[in-house]
Amino acid sequence: MPPTIGRSAPRLLNEATVSETSPGELTLDLENGKQIVVDADTHQPIYEESVDPDGTVNKITFFRDQTSYPGGVSLPAVKIQVGFKNGFAKHVMMSAILDAKFNVEIDESKFEMPVSKGSVLTDLRSGERRSKRSKNDVSNAVEYFIASETQPRPIAADKGFDLKGFLLIANGIFLMVLGFFVWRKAKWSK
């Protein structure tokens, strides 16, 4: 089943209330106020409408000229989008695919990202933000991050028994006990 509108057709069908409004077409009503009409056989989009919470239409998108490309890829070659504000069309945008090629060889150098000395590199791949300032020119930022991940992280050396820490804790306990006895003696002497 071909993908449609950024989500797979089965997932989209599971997230929506589906009804057949006209022969060969399915209407999908999503919870976010969006209504999508798709071809019943191919699940390719025909029409999409977005509605504000107050019920006014804010965007309508038409998909036309379903085209099959080499490699079994099928998608609309023309997309017409109309944006509305206060019930009036405010903008119209048309996109057309004139030529498409799929599964072409791409030179690996297109994916390299050189970084100059002093630039800040931020890596968000692991879900946490990690930033570093580049100390040298780097030919490829991705390789730089991969190399820095494979380097062992410094581990605090085990210093053994910490006399200073022990004395601080013992001193604190001694002062609390001494304070308790002084307080109790003052209370008993009354």
The one-letter amino acid at 183: W
Beta strands 45-51 and 88-96 are unpaired
- Half-sphere exposure for 99 (CA within 13 Å, toward CB): 0
Question: Maximum Cα–Cα distance for the chain, whole Å?
Answer: 100
> In this structure, how many other beta carbons lie within 10 angstroms of the beta carbon of residue 152?
5
For residue 51, the SS3 value is strand
Confidence bin at 149 (pLDDT 50/70/90) = low
Q: Check the CA dihedral 131-137-142-144 and report its sign.
A: negative
Total domains present in the chain: 2
Q: Are residues 116 and 138 in the same domain?
A: yes
pLDDT in the model for residue 3 = 38
Q: Which stretch of 9-23, 57-71, 125-139, 171-185 has the lowest confidence by average pLDDT? A: 9-23
Q: How far apart, in Å, are the Cα atoms of 3 and each of 6, 10, 25, 39, 44?
A: 7, 9, 16, 12, 8
Q: Are 139 and 84 members of one domain?
A: no
In a domain, 86, yes or no: yes
Say yes or no: 17 and 82 in one domain: yes
Between 114 and 33, residue with greater pLDDT: 114
At 9, the pLDDT band (50, 70, 90 cuts) reads low
Separation in Å, CA 153 to CA 5, 133, 135: 43, 17, 18
pLDDT(84) > 70: yes
Determine the Cα angle at 171 with ends 165 and 174, to 5°.
Answer: 145
- Domain encompassing residue 129: 108-150
Q: How confident is the model at residue 111 (pLDDT cuts 50, 70, 90)?
A: confident
Task: Return d(Cα 145, Cα 153) in angstroms, integer.
Answer: 14
Q: Identify whether 163 is part of a domain.
A: no
Residue 60 has pLDDT above 50, yes or no: yes
Question: Would you call 170 helix, strand, or coil by DSSP?
Answer: helix
| Maximum average pLDDT range among 9-23, 131-145, 154-168 | 131-145
Does 27 score more than 80 pLDDT?
A: yes
Q: How far is CA 31 from the centre of its chain?
A: 21
Taking the complete model, does pTM exceed 0.85, yes or no? Answer: no
Instruction: Look up residue 113 and give its two tokens.
Output: 């990202």
